[in-house]
Amino acid sequence: MYPEFPFTSHYLQLGNDRLHYIDEGSGPVIVMVHGNPTWSYYYRNIIKLLSKDHRVIAIDHMGCGLSDKPQQYNYTLGQHVENLEKLLNSLSIHSFSLVVHDWGGAIGMGVATKYPERIEKIVVLNTAAFRSKRIPFRISICKYPIIGPFIVRAFNGFAWPATFMAVTKPMPKKICEAYLAPYDSWKNRVAVAAFVKDIPLEKHHVSYSTLEKIDNGLSTLKDAGVPMLIIWGGKDFCFNTIFYDEWRKRFPEAECHMFPDAGHYILEDCRDEVEPLLSRFFRTK
Q: Compute the average pLDDT of residues 226-236.
A: 98
pLDDT given for residue 142 in this prediction: 84
The CATH classification number of 9-283 equals 3.40.50.1820
Helix and strand counts by DSSP (H, E) for the chain: 12, 8
Q: What is the pLDDT of residue 189?
A: 98
Interval 196-212 mean pLDDT? 96
pLDDT in tens, 53-75: 999 999 999 999 999 999 999 99
Beta bridge pairs of residue 9: 22
Q: Tell me if 172 sits within 8 A of 50, measured CB to CB.
A: no
Q: In this predicted structure, what is the pLDDT of residue 134?
A: 87
Which pLDDT score is estimated for 138? 76
Q: Residues 18, 11: contact at Cβ < 8 Å?
A: yes
Q: What whole-number percentage of the chain has pLDDT above 70?
A: 100
Q: Partners of 123 in the beta sheet? A: 99, 229
Q: What is the pLDDT of residue 146?
A: 84
Closest CA to 130 of 229, 248, 213: 213
160 by Cβ neighbours in 10 Å (0-12 / 13-18 / 19+) ranks as middle
Q: What is the pLDDT of residue 215?
A: 98
Q: Is the pLDDT of residue 158 over 80?
A: yes
Whether the pLDDT of residue 231 is over 90: the answer is: yes
Band of residue 140 on the pLDDT scale cut at 50, 70, 90? confident
Cβ neighbors of 162 (< 8 A, separation 6 or more) are 37, 38, 179, 264, 265
Half-sphere exposure in the Cβ direction for 272 (13 Å, CA):
1
Are the beta carbons of 213 and 112 closer than 8 angstroms?
no
Q: Average pLDDT in the 181-196 region?
A: 98
> CA dihedral defined by 249, 251, 256, 262, rounded to 10 degrees?
-60
Q: Is the pLDDT of residue 285 over 80?
A: no
63: Cβ contacts below 8 Å, ≥ 6 apart: 69, 70, 73, 75, 190, 191, 192, 194
Q: Is 102 helix (H, G, I), strand (E, B) or coil?
A: strand
Q: 0.85 exceeded by the pTM?
A: yes
pLDDT tens per residue, range 98-123 = 999 999 999 999 999 999 999 999 99
Quote the crossing angle between the two packed helices 77-90 and 103-112, to the nearest 10°. Answer: 60
Model confidence band, residue 135 (pLDDT cutoffs 50, 70, 90)? confident
Residue-wise pLDDT for 41-54, tens only, equals 999 999 999 999 99
Averaged pLDDT for residues 115-142: 93
